[in-house]
Amino acid sequence: MPDSSISKLFEKSRKERLDIVANFANLTPDEIETLQNPNGGITFENADKMVENAIGTFSLPLGIATNFKINGKDYIIPMVIEEPSVIAAASKGAKVARIKGGFEASADESYSIGQIQVLDVDVPLAIKKINDSIIDILTLANSKSNTLSKMNKGAKEVFCKEIDTPRGRMLIVELLIDVGDAMGANVTNTMCEAVSPLIEKITGGKTLLRILSNYSTQRIAKAKAVFDKEAVGGEKVVDNIILAFEFADNDVYRAVTHNKGIMNGVIAAANAVGQDSRAIEAAANAYAAKSGKYHSLSKWSKDDQGNLVGVLEIPLSVGIVGGIANVHPVAKVCSKILGVSTAQELACVLTATGLAQNYSAIRALSTEGIQKGHMRLHARNIAAAAGATPEQIDEIVQKMIEEKKISLDRAKELLEQI
């Protein structure tokens, strides 16, 4: 079984890193070449088919987070992100979690929610008529996906709710759809549009919006880990981390930044395998405010032995079939590196990555502060921005750190001296 505990990957050359990843994931020479593509994996011709008015491509760094053990299985996690320290922090968090067995994670089945807005009806009467016609509605919806029907998936339930708006009462009809291993946006929208004429006929009303909801509350993923108190830094550090969590859980200004740190991990990993990061972010932030007040997405406490316990729960709509993951060459290779076989497994991995990242961020904040590690990495970007060559960067970074003057102006001064 592959081992994700890879020591000092950051000290190795690119070729050595690629060799390690290739051995871990059994990559072919063509897949390794795809990772080395200077265009970031897609040509302009690819891009021109993906979006309108394309003029080029835009690349971001792709790195590997190590040390992850999730539900007893080792993973190395591809992460696409421009921010320094995120990949290192996730790897460090996973290393500490690994001491107590790694992450335990679970994810709901892949149920998508489609919504149909119905206007100009007697809402209570319309709801009764819809409830009397559920079988007809489901049959019509499922006729639009032979693939899901053959898998005993597809539209499963119909719900109605009444909402109050400044323009009056509205009926919202919702389809609950098992989309299998897909993210499910296209099939959900197709089913909603297909049943809308039938709903108009049943209710006598007019349908307007017919679209999925990205607030995927039927697709909750949860990850938990125990972080050894000695590896964390002792009982005092454990207590400080819990105090830091309580700050975030009770102050919206801190909670937004705290949750942004969680999403650093989730979104970086999601980007690598071609997921809809905007849908993931929107759902997570809505979930943070589900009580009516915006809270921390993670929960931190300690067990009877004084170890730190972290739990992260988020709605997570992801898929391993369809979408950009089947089109983008690098996303395909990253999916192979990750090695997940179901959408639920992918959701577990993304949630564990977010929890690992959150641990490292609040531990740093609770001890030496976030800047010590972050600015060391950020200094490399500043030196590069000043015009330093790869051979000059290390010298400039070291001098800025020694002086505790990490700025573009100082980097330019040091470059002139060199």
Which pLDDT tens digit goes with each residue over 191-241? 999 999 999 999 999 999 999 999 999 999 999 999 999 999 999 999 999
Cα 308 from Cα 305, distance rounded (Å) = 9
Which pLDDT tens digit goes with each residue over 252-311? 999 999 999 999 999 999 999 999 999 999 999 999 999 999 999 999 999 999 999 999
Q: Which two tokens stand for residue 29?
A: 């020479």
Query: 220-227 and 308-315: which strand pairing?
Result: antiparallel
Query: Could you list the active site residues?
Result: 83, 260, 276, 374
At 44, the amino acid letter reads F
409 CB-near residues (< 8 Å, 6+ apart): none
The 308-315 sheet, strands edge to edge: 73-80, 62-70, 103-107, 220-227, 308-315, 298-302
The pLDDT of 343-351, averaged and rounded, is: 98
29 CB-near residues (< 8 Å, 6+ apart): none
Higher pLDDT, 391 or 342: 342
Cα 407 from Cα 400, distance rounded (Å) = 8
Proportion of the chain above pLDDT 70, given as a percent: 98
User: Bridge-partner residues for 18, per DSSP?
Assistant: none
What domains can be seen in the chain, in order of their start residue? 9-108+219-369 (3.90.770.10), 111-213 (3.30.70.420), 373-417 (1.10.8)
Q: Which two tokens stand for residue 407?
A: 């700025």
Cα 411 from Cα 313, distance rounded (Å) = 42
Lowest mean pLDDT among 58-72, 77-91, 164-178, 402-416: 402-416
The DSSP code for 62 is E
Cα 380 from Cα 361, distance rounded (Å) = 20
Where does the pLDDT of residue 354 fall: very low under 50, low under 70, confident under 90, or very high at 90 and above? very high
Query: 298-302 and 308-315: which strand pairing?
Result: antiparallel
- List, in sequence order, every beta strand (DSSP E) within 120-257: 154-165, 168-178, 206-213, 220-227
- Alpha carbon dihedral 81, 215, 316, 108, in 10-degree steps, equals 180
Q: What is the pLDDT of residue 369?
A: 63
**Residue 334: CB atoms within 10 Å:** 27
Quick one: how far is CA 360 from the chain centroid? 17
Quick one: how far is CA 255 from the chain centroid? 18
Where does the pLDDT of residue 417 fall: very low under 50, low under 70, confident under 90, or very high at 90 and above? confident
91 CB-near residues (< 8 Å, 6+ apart): 9, 65, 66, 67, 356
Cα 363 from Cα 358, distance rounded (Å) = 8
Q: Which two tokens stand for residue 119?
A: 């206007």
Residue linked to tokens 């002792």: 234
pTM beyond 0.85, yes or no: yes
The pLDDT of 63-71, averaged and rounded, is: 98
> Long-range contact list for 206-211, CB < 8 A, 24+ apart?
206/118, 206/119, 206/120, 207/116, 207/117, 207/118, 207/119, 208/117, 208/118, 208/119, 209/115, 209/116, 209/117, 210/114, 210/115, 210/116, 210/117, 211/114, 211/115
Say whether 121 sits in a helix, a strand or coil: coil
Residue linked to tokens 């067990």: 303
Which pLDDT tens digit goes with each residue over 3-52? 999 988 988 999 999 999 999 999 999 999 999 988 788 888 888 988 99
